A and B are shown apart, each in its own frame.
Chain A
Amino acid sequence: MSVAHSVSHDAHGDAHGHGHEQSFISKYVFSTDHKVIGIQFLVTTLLMLMVGGALALGVRWQLAFPWESMPLVGRLLFSGEGGQISPEFYTMLFTMHATVMIFLVIIPILAGAFGNFLIPLMIGADDMAFPVLNMLSYWFMWPAIFCFFASFFSAGNGAAAGWTSYPVLSALPQAAPASGMAQNWWLVGVTLVGVSSMMGSVNYMTTIINMRAPGMTLFRMPLTIWAMFITAILQAFALPVLTAAGFMLVADRLLGTCFFIPAGLVVNNADPTVGGGQPLLWQHLFWFYSHPAVYIMLLPAMGMVSDMLANAARKPLFGYKPMVYSMAAIAGLGFIVWGHHMFTSGMNPALGMTFMTSTMMIALPSAIKTFNWIGTIWGGKIEFNTVTLNSVAFVSMFVVGGLSGIFMAAVPVDIYIHDTYFIVAHFHYVLFGATLFGLFGAIFFWYPKMFGRKMNEGLGKAHFFFTFLGANGTFFPMHLLGVAGMPRRYADPYLHPYLEHFLPMNQFMTYSAILMGCAQFLLLFNFAYSMFYGEKVGRNPWKANGLEWTAPSPPGHGNFDVLPVCYRGPYEYSSPLVEEDFLLQTEYLSPPDKAEPVKEPEHA
């Protein structure tokens, strides 16, 4: 808990009003303060990133050196097989890799860590609407983490049906003998993270709707807040469907129901199944959630990058309203494109055409956003610091990942590339390339607000450099593997002669992944080191405009010294009205700078 500890040290002096002493536990462990919860989420998810990455390295090891025993950790983990990865274990590795990365890293770091930390600060509230619920949403992560780990370690077996868990493989215990109880643990874990996100999203929506500071109209909200708001809506309305589907699948496994199990299957020589269910129903329900979920994993990063780029370029955001509308469009369209994951599943071909058209259309708002980001930098005054570099990398990598999405959105092309490494390339570009680079930038950008110190620039740049090279070295060749028809989820693709000659390329990718993995230590080190030895900074180290920069760094309990009042949007950089090149949202100018008059709030 050393993280939260250092917050408090500085926070103490600034704390005001709420003078009553709190015990250690209620202050740092079961804290209801959104900042502490945010930092708890951040630290937890960064650790989980290492776990997920370690699992990924396991996957990469097998792909580069199939059936060779793993150095160092191999004998420790599976001494039974002499340190070799068995095909079952490979299946579990990528299943758990994806599960950890998606459910325990990306979603909680975006909404949980940054959503929590930033929302009240950026809208000028003293805390979330429901602080206790907020605390619970963090603590529900732990049972979920426990379930996933129980799943992975239950007697050396793990959930092995992919992160998509398609039935019948996941519904009949005899179909994947190794997965036994593990699949149940996995499903319970998914339900629990669902509960956690659900509490978060109701909280965020209420806070954003109802607790904005005076003058903070909807169209003066920073894009980060818009993004968090839209994400929360997506989560609130998509997630219950996954939860419902999860209950149905658990019931199929444990209670004898047959929602996803048709009659007459002979699995592993057992008696034919009785039932009347439909396996495709799961896919519809799952993707109804999981497609919106991929935007849940992207929108907050988009919002934060917009804020960071405007700040870096010392320029107003290009096209604020189009940016907001395009995010809303992404969310809206996000609900009607789920079928693009099922083009080859045998659903009605007419649906295939509908889903193709809607999927193509969802690229449009993304295009608008991309061009506006470029427009934001255009004519700016930029300096290449870590935040800039990561934000630019976000845009650049998002374009790559998004454009590969176009291939897959085209149904006939998807017939060929579906379930090949082309897909794997696509989603690592958007998930790792876009979201994680955005997040790295955000960590550097808001770190001073969290801890009152800046992170080290040199280390930050080195981390960026190696991560960028490593990521592209790992994920770019996957496009070619996909075009060559290499199916995903293969423990040993080289068994098939047409893929034999890709072994060297896979080894190159694995080396790149190791490079990228090592680079993450720079981040962790920088994160921990700067907490104690980083350069101390004041309230507004980046000369930014948002409300959060008027609070002390780190902000005390209750966030602001005085109730902030907001007079303008967050992007008035280089405004001709003032000397400096930034203009705080709270700064009152007379005469008012906007055509629309700002009412002095009647202070009570």
Chain B
Amino acid sequence: MSDSSSHSAGSNLKMGLPIPNSKLGMWLFLGTEIMFFTAFIGSYIVLRMGSQGWPSDPHVTHISVIAGGINTFVLIVSSYCVVVAHDAMLKKHFKTALKYLWITTALGFLFMGIKSYEYYGKFTHGILPGKIAENDWQAAQQALAGFDDAVEDTGYSDMKLELAGLEKEVAGAEGGAKETMQARIDELKKSIAAIDPFANDVKQFKTYVKKEEWDFAELTQEVSTLKESYPEKASHIHEPHVILYGNIFASTYFLMTGFHAIHVIVGLILFGMVLKQGNKLDETWTDWVENSGLYWHFVDLVWIFLFPLLYIVDFA
């Protein structure tokens, strides 16, 4: 962007608009960005309208209107700060400009922080595209996979393998080697025995799940008993829950907020370049601040569309 200014220097001779190339370029670029997000927003609307249903209960989706609302406010304030900063740049009050750019950046980070908090809430509840059960069978499969993993995490089958190997070898071994082997075997046996009940219960659960017919309430019961019996091993496993149309919901949510977040990060980098100048900041950066400010307003504007669409509107 910086090399453009030299070319527009002679612009009083050239035809064209009375604005620097860099600014015109930024506006045109934002035009392409608008189309980019239009594609996402359009897809979201099409998918949501075309879907038989959509999870909208905040307890299920872990969508927090409050968090989103605060974030909207944060971005709007930060947008305002950029304007003030640019104004200061024009007046050559570089100290003030820096101060306001710091505030903008801080608010950008705050936005990302709140966003991470929201994402974290979804991650911990397994609200991730492709990971959500949409019917009882899938819920059961997921619970089973969770328990299986829990058993694996203890190293159960590895230990069993090792044990089997050692038991074969120990017969042929002699002396000290034999002794250490024997010690290891005892150790292994003990550990395995400690896990055995859990592993057996999981195995039982597997046969239960494989059954032709079961009832969801009963399944939930089974899972929580299993969890309660082995709190230290299985407490992290989710109760089976079913979110009908949850995957497409999660897909669109993460797509749109994710790409918006990437744009926020890019904006923060643009501001970071200015902040890095510190006291050396001078008027050569004015266009830069203006253009990244334009970009930042765009990022803000996108969020102003995303917030109601994702958090509030009920299409039904």
* Given A130-B21, A258-B247, A563-B13, A240 contacting B4 (CB threshold 8 A): no
A209 CB–B CB distance under 8 Å: yes
Stretch at the interface among B46-54, B187-195, B263-271: B46-54
- Residues of chain A with a CB closer than 8 A to B14's CB: 125, 210-214
Interface residues of B in 12-26 (CB under 8 A from A): 12-17, 19, 21, 24-25
The stretch among A170-178, A197-205, A573-581 that forms the contact with chain B is A197-205
Q: Roughly how many angstroms separate A603 CA and B17 CA in the complex, as a whole number?
A: 19
Query: Given A130-B25, A210-B21, A241 and B7 touching (CB < 8 A)?
Result: no
By a CB distance below 8 angstroms, the chain A residues around B37 are 244
> B134: CB under 8 A from chain A?
yes
Taking CB atoms, residues of chain B closer than 8 Å to A604 are: 10, 12-13
Distance in Å: Cβ of B8 to nearest Cβ of chain A: 7
List the B residue with the shortest CB-CB distance to A123.
B15
Contacts of A245 in B (CB 8 A): 39, 43
> B45 CB to closest chain A CB, in angstroms?
11
Interface membership of A528, Cβ < 8 A: no
- The contact string, 1 if C-beta is below 8 Å from chain B, for chain A 207-242, is 001111111110000000000000000001111110
Closest to A212 in B: B15
The answer to whether B7 touches A127, judged by C-beta atoms less than 8 angstroms apart, is: yes
State whether B3 touches A258 (Cβ < 8 A). no
Which of chain B's residues have a CB closer than 8 A to the CB of A603?
Answer: 13
CB distance from B69 to the nearest CB of A (A): 26
Q: How far is the CB of B108 from chain A (nearest CB, A)?
A: 23
Chain B residues within an 8 Å CB radius of A255: 129-130
CB of A257 closer than 8 Å to a CB of B: yes
Cβ-neighbour of B130 out of A210, A257, A281 (below 8 A)? A257
Q: Which of A92-100, A270-278, A297-305, A543-551 contacts B (4 or more CB under 8 A)?
A: A270-278
In the bound complex, residues from chain B placing their C-beta under 8 Å from that of A288 are 39
Give the docked Cα–Cα distance between A593 and B307 (Å): 59
Q: Are A278 and B50 in contact (CB under 8 A)?
A: yes
B35 touches A240 (CB 8 A): yes
Closest chain A CB from B249 CB (angstroms): 8
| Complex Cα–Cα for A323 and B106 (A) | 53
Q: Is the CB of A258 within 8 A of B24?
A: no
| Residue in A126, A203, A216, A241 whose CB lies within 8 Å of B38 | A241
From A215, A236, A256, B129 is in contact (CB under 8 Å) with A256
Question: Is B166 in the interface zone, CB < 8 Å from A?
Answer: no
| Contact present for A244 and B40 (CB under 8 Å) | yes
Any chain A CB within 8 A of the CB of B251?
yes
- B-chain residues with CB within 8 Å of residue A247 when the two chains form the complex: 255, 259
- Residue B123, interface by CB 8 Å: no
Give min CB distance, A291 to chain B, whole Å: 15
Interface size class, chain B: 35 or more
Tell me the number of A-to-B contacts counted with CB atoms below 8 Å: 152
A285 lies within 8 A of chain B by Cβ: yes
- List residues of chain B with CB within 8 A of the CB of A274: 130, 132-134, 138, 247
The reply on B118 being an interface residue by CB < 8 A is no
Indicate whether A364 reaches chain B with its CB closer than 8 angstroms: no
Chain B residue numbers with a CB within 8 Å of A236 are: 28, 31-32, 35
Asked whether, in the complex, the Cβ of A275 is within 8 Å of the Cβ of B247, the reply is yes
Q: A259 contacts the other chain (Cβ, under 8 Å)?
A: yes
Chain B residues whose CB sits within 8 angstroms of the CB of A84 once the complex forms: none
Given the known A-B contacts A206-B25, A256-B128, are A251 and B16 also in contact in the complex, defined by CB atoms under 8 Å? Answer: no
Q: Given known contacts A129-B4, A211-B16, is B39 in contact with A257 (CB within 8 Å)?
A: no
CB pair A202 B28 closer than 8 Å? yes
Contact between chains at B39 and A259 (CB < 8 Å): no
Question: CA of A236 to CA of B30 in the docked complex: distance in angstroms?
Answer: 10
Q: Which of A129, A248, A257 contacts B7 (CB 8 A)?
A: A129
Interface centre among B12, B130, B245 (most CB of A within 10 A): B130
User: Do A276 and B247 have beta carbons less than 8 Å apart?
Assistant: yes
Q: Which residue of A lies closest to B250 (CB)?
A: A257
Verify A276–B47 contact, CB threshold 8 A: yes
Q: Which chain A positions have C-beta within 8 A of B16?
A: 209-212
B33 within 8 A of A: yes
Name, among B35, B128, B133, the residue most crowded by chain A CB atoms within 10 Å (CB to CB). Answer: B35
Known: A212-B16, A248-B43. A237 touches B35 (CB 8 A): yes
B32 and A251 within 8 A (CB):
no
Would you call A257 and B129 a contact (CB within 8 A)?
yes
* Residue numbers in B under 8 Å from A487 (CB-CB): none
- Residue from A205, A217, A602 having most chain B Cβ neighbours under 10 A: A205
Chain B nearest Cβ from A27, distance in angstroms: 17
Counting chain A CB atoms within 10 Å of each CB, the highest count among B1, B47, B52 belongs to B47
Q: Kindly identify which residue among B40, B251, B259 contacts A258, using a CB–CB cutoff of 8 Å.
A: B251
A132: CB under 8 A from chain B? yes
Nearest CB to that of A215 among chain B residues? B15
Interface pair A244/B134, CB less than 8 Å apart: no
| Contact between A257 and B251, CB atoms less than 8 A apart | yes
With A130-B1, A237-B35 as contacts: A202 and B15 at CB distance below 8 Å: no
Interface residue ranges of A265-317 to B (CB < 8 Å): 274-278, 281, 284-285, 288
- B210, CB-defined interface residue at 8 Å: no
By the criterion CB–CB under 8 Å, are A259 and B251 in contact?
A: yes
User: In the bound complex, how far is the Cα of B12 from the Cα of A603, in angstroms?
Assistant: 10
Q: Report A86 CB to chain B, min CB distance, Å.
A: 32
Answer whether residue B315 sits at the interface, using C-beta atoms and an 8 A cutoff: no
Confirm or deny: A131 has a beta carbon within 8 angstroms of a beta carbon on chain B.
yes
How many Å lie between the Cα of A284 and that of B45 in the bound state? Answer: 13
Q: Which residues of B contact A210 (CB under 8 A)?
A: 8, 11, 14, 16-17, 19, 21, 24
Using a CB-CB cutoff of 8 Å, which residues 40-79 of chain B contact chain A? 40, 43, 46-47, 50-52
**Residue B248, interface by CB 8 Å:** yes
Tell me whether A518 is interfacial, beta carbon within 8 Å: no
A263 within 8 A of B: yes
Whether A263 and B39, one on each chain, are in contact in the complex, defined by CB atoms closer than 8 angstroms, is no
12 intermolecular pairs with C-beta atoms under 8 Å apart:
A130-B3, A202-B29, A206-B25, A209-B24, A239-B35, A243-B36, A248-B255, A256-B129, A258-B130, A276-B248, A281-B47, A563-B13
Residues of A at the B interface (CB closer than 8 Å) are 125-127, 129-132, 198, 201-203, 205-206, 209-217, 236-241, 243-245, 247-248, 251, 255-259, 263, 274-278, 281, 284-285, 288, 563, 601-604
List 14 additional A-B contacts (Cβ < 8 Å) besides A210-B19, A244-B39, A276-B134: A125-B14, A127-B7, A129-B4, A129-B21, A206-B24, A213-B14, A238-B35, A245-B39, A255-B130, A256-B129, A258-B248, A259-B248, A277-B248, A281-B43
